Amino acid sequence: MPDFAQQRTMMVDAQIRTNDITDPRIHAAMLAMPRERFLPETKQAVAYMDGCVALSAGRVLSDPRSFGKLLQLAAIKPTDRLLDVGCGSGYSTAILARLAGEVIGLEQDAELAGVARDCLSALNITNASIAEGALQDGLNLQGPFDVIFCNGALEVAPKALLKQLTDGGRLVAILRDGAASTARLYLRHEGVISERAAFDAHLPVLPGFERPAAFVF
């Protein structure tokens, strides 16, 4: 039987602390959360590897390094209301719930959404919920949000999501342009959106955020 607690400690020491993720709240959240619980039993042995773990529907559990750096980039406050786009099996939502006041995980795959709900319930996480819907649309009727966290890469700008930020709100995502993928921080201030690049990272593109295929004569 794997010692998952020891593997969590090794993950934080080797993949989080060594990649300039210095926020102790992130360390504590990732040390406390049983990442293996969000994977099918056949994949729990690789829950803490240095890489993405495949879920269903072409989706993945993000690698710890990319996930942790996005968390730090978002600068989440305990009072923030947060939208977790592409929450998959719910691990990201569970971690975010330890950092924010309220989290809604958005997932368009019904099977994954069901797994996420079951995991949150089993772990008695009461300040997070799961909604189903198209990822690119966000949850306009339940917004605005202080933080929107995108769990994967985007090939197009998240225009609809940016409109769902509060004044002073932040959106973090990985933007893919050809072979290059860069994490970006978007800030909304008095209706104006600014952005900056932060670090290189590589994750699969989220459904609904693919670049339209170019027309070929």
Q: Among 59, 116, 103, which Cα is nearest to 77's?
A: 103
Q: Which of 62, 66, 92, 181 is catalytic?
A: 62
Domains and CATH numbers, the chain: 50-200 (3.40.50.150)
pTM for the whole structure? 0.94
pLDDT digits (tens, 9 = 90+) for 68-80: 999 999 999 999 9
- Is 92 in the active site? no
* Cβ-proximal residues to 159 (8 Å cutoff; 6+ apart), any chain: none
Residue with tokens 């970006």: 184
Strand partners, 195: 186
Residue range 36-58, pLDDT digits in tens: 999 999 999 999 999 999 998 78
Q: Determine the pLDDT at residue 51.
A: 94
